[in-house]
């Protein structure tokens, strides 16, 4: 089922998400499937639970649509539950980012090129992995969502001033998207 994507200005995008207790989510596999379907429908490569209105520590990534652009480690389709990035390193790299919760807005963001992360996979199996390059960037972007951070929070101050009116427009519901959206005030 395709879920509505919550747009910038929705309070759930600013909440620090809570860990998932498997017993509290008996339909977890269905939710994960719905999130992948929603992300694919919106032509995204990552989607966090707060973006579909759920303040829980869950995000999905599927880099298959950009495999030609980022061939290292492809295909890359993964679920992260109760994730914790505990190490960041490598070079700080500036790259353009966009977000399904801010349709059509792209800005440069500086992020470390490597991370180490502990998480549960879709089968609730504990994982501890290192990622670098584009997968590390997308993981950090989605991880920010479960901490109540949107990518524009990481934009250079001068750029943030320049996009202030665009952000205000999103919060007022003035945007266009080719996918199902919701603005919760």
Element (H, E) at 92: strand 77-99
The number of residues making up the chain comes to 185
Contacts with 185 (C-beta within 8 Å, 6 or more apart), sequence order:
9, 10, 11
Residue 69 among the catalytic residues:
no
42: tokens are 């919106």
Task: Count the helices and strands in the chain (H runs, E runs).
Answer: 3, 7
Element (H, E) at 141: helix 133-146
- Pair 179, 7: CB distance under 8 Å: no
Distance CA 67, CA 63 (A): 6
- Pair 75, 64: CB distance under 8 Å: yes
Task: Find the catalytic residue in 15, 87, 122, 142.
Answer: 142
Distance CA 31, CA 135 (A): 22
Residues designated as active site = 142
């Amino acid at each position: 089922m395709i879920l509505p994507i919550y747009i910038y200005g929705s309070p759930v995008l600013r909440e620090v998400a809570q860990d998932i207790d498997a017993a509290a989510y008996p339909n977890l596999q269905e939710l994960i499937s719905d999130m992948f379907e929603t992300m694919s429908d919106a032509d995204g490569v990552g989607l966090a639970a707060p973006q579909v209105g759920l303040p829980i520590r869950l995000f999905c990534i599927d880099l298959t649509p950009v495999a030609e652009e980022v061939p290292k480690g492809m295909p890359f389709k993964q679920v992260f539950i109760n994730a914790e990035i505990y190490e960041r390193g490598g070079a700080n790299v500036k790259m353009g980012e966009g977000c399904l919760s801010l349709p059509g807005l792209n800005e440069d963001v500086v992020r470390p090129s490597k991370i180490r992360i502990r998480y549960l996979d879709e089968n609730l199996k504990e994982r501890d992995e290192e990622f670098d390059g584009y997968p590390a960037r997308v993981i950090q972007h989605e991880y920010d969502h479960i901490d109540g951070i949107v990518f524009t929070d990481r934009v250079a101050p001068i750029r943030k001033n320049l996009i202030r009116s665009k952000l205000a427009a999103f919060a007022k519901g003035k945007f266009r998207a080719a996918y199902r959206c919701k603005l919760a005030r």
